[in-house]
Structure 1
Amino acid sequence: MQEKTPLTKLIANAVMFQIGWFACVLGGTGPWLLIPAAVLCIHFFWISSWAAEGKLVVSVVLAGAAVDSFLMQVGVFDFPGNSKLVPLWLAVLWAMLAITLNHCLAWTARPVWLACLLGAVAGPVSYFAGAALSDVQLPLEQFWTFLILAAVWAVVYPLMHGFAHIYRQQFLIRQMAQKH
């Protein structure tokens, strides 16, 4: 990920994200998760690499799953079963988001107010769309759910871009050190 991503790979990145998103939301946990697994493999072999973005994907998945587990615990959304953690398919959605941060969604990182605004709008919209297509329940009134998710995503989305920036710089520094 040393150079700018070519347009064909940006488009492929966006399409693969959408395919992975739909597979997770519509398929839930089970064999459907092979689709986002394939998306991740294609991403790491063709668009970027594990060395360049592995730490980013792991960090985004862990932080995102923690945020969603907290939101689940405070009653913003509900899943079937008695788990205290979000289902695997929702954690995998965070991996799908992570692979876009340096590529098709890189433009949304700066200025920071744009990342905050886009997070505040796109984050809740994604949750509402996912809930409509899956077995996720949003027990609060829509207004309050949207407001809570907007506030969370106004912080979370720029934070994820911050992870991407830090890890990208670390990767570039390692690459330069290896050349010398």
Structure 2
Amino acid sequence: MTKMVANAVLFQIGWFACVLGGTGPWLLVPAAVLCIYFFWISSWAAEGKLMVTVVLAGAAIDSFLMQVGVFEFPGESKLVPLWLAALWAMLATTLNHCLAWTARPIWLASLLGAISGPLSYFAGAAIAEVELPLEQGMTLVILAATWAIVFPLLHGFAHIYRQQWLVRQMAQKN
């Protein structure tokens, strides 16, 4: 239970550091959060594959949403900023821990994704220098639909990779 609470607190600390600080020295905070996570709560061997998958998928999704005009970041980059990719890493740390309860049934993951995904983007945009150029209702619909699909998929990856890791652990013991 202590590690689950720590996981949730670490996620929030990382989220706020990314959104409030953006790039630069503030990125040391999510880096520290990830180090604490991998040394105390889980391990790279157990969840590194999940983290890489979530960061790559998340950066691709957000880059696509940026290209189609759902949100805009300062500057001319065609890819999302590093702090947003770090947020995806923060999310990956929660899938097998403090947010594991949201995986089943799948409709719950979808519903919670449709609600919490857009809320996180709207809150982050209000704090960070992110513009949401589309009409607010349209942005909400796009993000809700996206996250209704993405969140269960991320949980699916977490489940598959967790099972693979457990099989490897059992094989090593034999």
**Shorter-chain TM-score category?**
over 0.9
Q: After the TM superposition, which residues 1-180 of structure 1 pair with which residues of structure 2 at under 5 Å, given as runs?
A: 7-180=1-174
Kindly state the Cα deviation for residue 155 of structure 1 after the two structures are TM-superposed.
0.3
Distance in 1, Cα, partners of 2:75 & 2:42 = 37
Aligned sequence identity (%): 81
TM-score scaled to structure 2, two decimals?
Answer: 1.00
Kindly state the Cα deviation for residue 13 of structure 1 after the two structures are TM-superposed.
0.2
Distance in 2, Cα, partners of 1:29 & 1:60 = 20
Kindly state the Cα deviation for residue 141 of structure 1 after the two structures are TM-superposed.
0.8
Distance in 2, Cα, partners of 1:150 & 1:160 = 15
Kindly state the Cα deviation for residue 165 of structure 1 after the two structures are TM-superposed.
0.3
Kindly state the Cα deviation for residue 58 of structure 1 after the two structures are TM-superposed.
0.5
Provide structure 2 residue ranges, at least 5 long, that are not aligned to the other structure: none
Report the 3-state secondary structure (helix = DSSP H, G, I; strand = E; otherwise coil) of the residue aligned with 1:164. Answer: helix
Distance in 1, Cα, partners of 2:70 & 2:103 = 26
Q: Which amino acid aligns with 2:37?
A: H
Distance in 1, Cα, partners of 2:6 & 2:105 = 25
TM-score scaled to structure 1, two decimals?
Answer: 0.96
For the aligned residue pairs, the C-alpha RMSD in angstroms reads 0.3
Distance in 2, Cα, partners of 1:142 & 1:14 = 29
Distance in 2, Cα, partners of 1:148 & 1:142 = 10
Kindly state the Cα deviation for residue 80 of structure 1 after the two structures are TM-superposed.
0.6
Distance in 2, Cα, partners of 1:31 & 1:176 = 41
Distance in 1, Cα, partners of 2:19 & 2:157 = 25
Kindly state the Cα deviation for residue 103 of structure 1 after the two structures are TM-superposed.
0.2
Kindly state the Cα deviation for residue 157 of structure 1 after the two structures are TM-superposed.
0.4
Q: Which amino acid aligns with 1:107?
A: W
Report the 3-state secondary structure (helix = DSSP H, G, I; strand = E; otherwise coil) of the residue aligned with 2:45. Answer: helix
Kindly state the Cα deviation for residue 147 of structure 1 after the two structures are TM-superposed.
0.4
Distance in 2, Cα, partners of 1:159 & 1:31 = 32
